[in-house]
Amino acid sequence: MSWTEILVLLFVTIGPIRAALIYLGLTKSADAQLKRSIAIRTVMISTVICVMFAIVGAVILSGLKVSVEALLIAGGAILFVFALQLVIGEEKQQPEGEEPPAPSIEIATFPLAVPLMASPHGLVAIVAIEATLQGVTEGLIFVGCILAIMAFNLFFLLAADKIFAKIPPAILKIFLRVVGLLLCALAVQLIIFGFDGLGLIPNPEIET
């Protein structure tokens, strides 16, 4: 995978969109200081989890005796299911008369950091990508990519009120569908890489 593909994959799996939508709903009645604290803690927790998975991904693989190809195929399948939910899934509506829970700093851990920002499919993608990297330099670049995404996530959460105030809900839904479609393609590509590593399909980059 190219670094552009990796950045896109990270953005759609551990990016801010889904977490920001829930963040706005859960912090409607919170004051500005509490909102800021929740946003900062959410990103800090997500960053620690994602970087940890990026660093010890190879250890996890060797300890469980899981091959890179198996992880790529499994990760691609999980990502594809998630992407289908973005493309064709419908958001659950809150029952009438049911009030959202009172805002608390604890929501930064759950559900904002886990499972929304440091999502299960995102962690699978991180471990799968880490397993394909060569050398310490690429590993450090990958961690830098994660940190860059998390820095953007923090900016997005802090500015979520202003951002979503200017975006019509219909446009936002269309954007999520497009992101889901891109993620479907990337998930299929992960599966192709896995099958290629097992020698089950010819390498498309090799001329016949």
Residue 96 lies in a domain: no
- C-beta of residue 153 within 8 angstroms of C-beta of residue 19: yes
Residues in the chain with pLDDT < 70? 89-102, 169, 202-208
- C-beta of residue 171 within 8 angstroms of C-beta of residue 111: no
CA distance readout (Å), 207 to 191, 194, 195, 202: 21, 20, 18, 10
Task: Report the share of the chain in percent with pLDDT over 90.
Answer: 33
pTM of the prediction? 0.74
Look at the chain and report how many structural domains it folds into.
1
- C-beta of residue 149 within 8 angstroms of C-beta of residue 14: yes
Domain hosting residue 149, numbered range: 3-89+102-197
Amino acid in the structure at residue 35: K
Residue 10 lies in a domain: yes
Residue 208 lies in a domain: no
Residue 207 lies in a domain: no
Predicted pLDDT of residue 172:
72
